[in-house]
Amino acid sequence: TVLGCKAAVDNGDILIQEGNGLIQSEKQYANFVVEYEWKALKADKWDSGLYFRYTTVPANRPWPDRYQVNLRQGDEGNVGDLPGAKTKDMTKHGDWNRFKLTVQGAKASLEINGQPAWQGDGLAGPEKGFIALQAEVPGGGQFRFRNIFITELP
């Protein structure tokens, strides 16, 4: 579901073209692995992200009040309000990067380009929610996403 932005399939990639919004999963997930590759098209000051474990988007803003795996330059891979979910300098600027986020119960972990980046603990409710790619084109520029897989865990 595309909310508040414009996206297209271009050469097999999802290209976020314009707007501030989300490309949201059709269903909600509790425990899952989401793998995706991303590439910022802006030379610097890029910004996007992947939101997870949210059930609604507030009417007064384009993004949920929940967990975000940041794709902002300098914060790539960080989840601001999850203890232990910090990393630095593990992405390739101007190139494709692969993230693998695993969420199970109150714990989450991230791999960046095949390397362990962090393990966090302390995810609070909701226990089940949507997963979405964030579009922030006016401020953060266009992004490409590809090879997106969501695997539901028991």
What was the pLDDT predicted at 61?
Answer: 92
Task: Read off φ and ψ for residue 105, nearest 5 degrees.
Answer: 65, -130
The counts of H helices and E strands in the chain are 1, 10
pTM over 0.85: yes
CB count within 10 Å of CB 2 equals: 17
What was the pLDDT predicted at 114?
Answer: 98
What was the pLDDT predicted at 29?
Answer: 98
CA angle in degrees (0–180, nearest 5) for 73-112-54? 75
What was the pLDDT predicted at 136?
Answer: 94
What was the pLDDT predicted at 125?
Answer: 84
What was the pLDDT predicted at 43?
Answer: 95
Tell me the residue type at 89: D
Low-confidence ranges of the chain (pLDDT < 70): none
pLDDT digits (tens, 9 = 90+) for 101-114: 999 999 999 999 99
Q: Which of 114, 142, 145, 118 is nearest to 50 (CA)?
A: 145
What was the pLDDT predicted at 72?
Answer: 97
Rg value, the chain, Cα: 14
